[in-house]
Structure 1
């Protein structure tokens, strides 16, 4: 994998993150293959682009309004085979507040991506999002 391909991947993640923050989930979803797998930080497993997009659209407006604080950075790009790459990103979401009056919390995590090159463009074939801090969203509050 040459530097041009690595830069294409970094550019894809930059634009993908911009679309996430803008909550333009249809355009965000276009960066996934039709048969993409996405595992959420809560362990939901969506097995198609459509399930992934629909799942990410289904969030409260109060959470969407907080997306401006979200960031994502590529920390590793490793070729697996011709036209296939393993990518790791680190994300942060400071001051994230769930509905229901819980106090805000600084969230962060890792995303593991498998990218494939199809028709001259990189697409996400699989993604696994893992929170690196905090408890499950549904843990009892004390």
Structure 2
């Protein structure tokens, strides 16, 4: 039997439903917000090309990285490109990521999701999404001669 998930009746509902699915740790619900051939790019550039891969990646994440995390929607902005296509930007906050290595208590993360959504029938679906971490005080990233990655500010 297939689960029935909430439909986004307006573009701005997509981020709220994403957060709801995240907090339930329900990868199938989260993936249901996307079209079958949707694209999803995460904060480190991992790129998934369909709903099934998006679901599998988030199921892994809930099991291994974000099992006790809290994701909160802070702000949403919609820009309509036409009556059936919109870009939805959503600022979020993540806390309680699973510890890893010498990081015993991961710090709070701020991010911005960009959802490209399309009206299909009577609801809106995400056709592409990208998640970007907000690094306070930084302008860009740099990799040093040893291959170490860090965020930097050229103005300071």
Whether these two folds match at TM > 0.5 is: yes
Corresponding residue of 2:11: 9
Corresponding residue of 1:115: 117
Corresponding residue of 2:37: 35
Gaps of 5+ in 2: 1-7, 142-147, 150-156
Corresponding residue of 1:24: 26
Q: Kindly name which structure, 1 or 2, has the bigger radius of gyration based on alpha carbons.
A: 2
Q: Tell me the SS of whatever aligns to 1:9.
A: coil
With the length of structure 1 as denominator, give the TM-score of the two structures: 0.80
- Number of equivalent positions: 131
Decide which moves more: 41-50 or 96-105. Answer: 96-105
Corresponding residue of 1:3: none
CA separation of 1:92 and 1:116: change in aligned 2, threshold 3 A: same
Corresponding residue of 1:46: 48
Gaps of 5+ in 1: 1-5
Cα deviation 1:32-87 (Å, max 9, x = unaligned): 000100000010110111111111111364633322x2112343101012200011
Give the 5 Å matches for 1:1-142.
Answer: 8-59=10-61, 61=63, 63-67=65-69, 69-102=70-103, 103-133=105-135
With the length of structure 2 as denominator, give the TM-score of the two structures: 0.73
Higher helix share: 1
Q: Tell me the SS of whatever aligns to 1:105.
A: coil
Q: What do you get for the CA RMSD once the two structures are aligned?
A: 2.4
